[in-house]
Structure formats: C-alpha cells, structure tokens
Amino acid sequence: MDKNARKLRNQDVNPCLEETDASQKCLDAYKYDKDMCSAYFQRYRNCRKYWHNIMVQRRRDGVKPDMPTAAERQEILAAVGGKPY
C-alpha cells in the first residue's frame, strides 16, 4: 500500500473512513452501478462537509491539530448525540 493510501486508511486523518468503506462495499455489491449507491455517497458527502466545518473552526480558534483525533471525534459525536450526518 503506498503512502497516500495508508494515510487515507488512518482513522486520525480520515474521519469518514466508515462511510468510505460503506460506499465501496455498495459499489462492489451492485457491480459499480452508482445509481444504487447514491444514499451512501450522500452520507459520505455529509460526513466530509461536517468534519471540514469542524476543521475550519478549529483552525480559526487556533486549535492544533486542525482535524480532531479519532478519540476526540468520538467525544464530539457523543456530545451531539450521535452522527449528525
């Protein structure tokens, strides 16, 4: 696995790993018929948008690292009562 692929599989870097895997699994199941997986794609887009907004806000506030770690993300999601996306 190349460096970029390893980075994308790292939970501290990619907050939407679960949604990524679900989308890929759907594509595999439906022989890459993208119309059948639109709900998974939308969930992935919503996830990326949500964590991007968190990252931007942390940057504005001067919090490092910009992207919360996997453990911090779990705390954030628990505080809002689950995944808001």
Torsion sign across C-alpha atoms 75, 65, 1, 24 = positive
> For residue 70, what are the contacts with CB-CB under 8 A and spacing of at least 6?
11, 12, 15
Work out the pLDDT band at 78, boundaries 50, 70, 90.
very high
Per the omega criterion (within 30 degrees of 0), is the bond before 65 cis? yes
For residue 20, which amino acid is it?
T
pLDDT at 22 (0 to 100): 97
Q: Where are the domains of the chain?
A: 17-79
Over residues 6-23, the pLDDT tens digits come to 877 888 889 999 999 999
